[in-house]
């Protein structure tokens, strides 16, 4: 993991989301959240893992400070992404917040069993979505200490 974001180095967030509307909502919400954020977007689990592999291969271990992960995506769903990330020493400590429309108890249970760091049910309107993003950004980038990227 990278060190805590600073004004010179905004927090890096990887949004893994197949819905164009939800991706746009997240982009707008992060622009207005009050924390400097560099948002990267992957449309599915395969693209997510490819982006992570490229970042981990860099000399400075350029991994996101936070991943927001949708569950229901084509090609590779969020559960499989969680299995792979949390099963890999390089990525394991990267915070992963599931951001899903599903409030199904089985989905929540499985996501936590696969070691997600938090599970947030996507709010249905923009003001609630924006408030949730603001709260996530404040928590992950202001309140807590996060681990650095492990040595490769």
In CATH, what number is assigned to the domain containing residue 112?
A: 3.40.50.2300
pLDDT tens, residue by residue, 29-48: 999 988 899 999 999 999 99
127 domain residue, yes or no: yes
Nearest to 78 by CA among 132, 17, 26: 17
pLDDT tens, residue by residue, 121-142: 999 889 999 999 999 999 999 8
- Three-state DSSP class for residue 22: helix
Domain containing 73 equals 11-143
133 domain residue, yes or no: yes
- Three-state DSSP class for residue 42: strand
151 domain residue, yes or no: no
150 domain residue, yes or no: no
Nearest to 67 by CA among 126, 127, 115, 6: 115
Instruction: Please tell me the pTM assigned to this model.
Output: 0.88
Q: What is the pLDDT of residue 55?
A: 77
117 domain residue, yes or no: yes
126 domain residue, yes or no: yes
Cα 151 to Cα 11, 61, 87, distances in angstroms: 20, 8, 16
19 domain residue, yes or no: yes
54 domain residue, yes or no: yes
User: Is the confidence at residue 2, as pLDDT, over 50?
Assistant: no
Q: How many domains does the chain have?
A: 1
């Amino acid at each position: 993991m990278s060190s805590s974001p600073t004004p010179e180095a905004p927090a890096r967030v990887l949004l893994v989301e197949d819905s164009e509307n939800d991706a746009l909502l997240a982009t707008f919400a992060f622009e207005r959240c009050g924390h400097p954020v560099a948002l990267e977007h992957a449309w599915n689990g395969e693209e997510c893992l490819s982006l992570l592999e490229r970042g981990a291969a860099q000399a400075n271990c350029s991994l996101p400070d936070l991943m927001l992960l949708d569950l229901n995506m084509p090609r590779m769903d969020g559960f499989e992404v969680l299995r792979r990330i949390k099963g890999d020493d390089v990525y394991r400590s990267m915070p992963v917040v599931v951001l899903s429309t599903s409030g199904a108890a089985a989905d929540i249970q499985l996501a936590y069993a696969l070691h997600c760091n938090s599970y947030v049910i996507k709010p249905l309107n923009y003001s609630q979505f924006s408030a949730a993003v603001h709260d996530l950004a404040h928590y992950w980038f202001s309140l807590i200490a996060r681990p650095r990227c492990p040595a490769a």
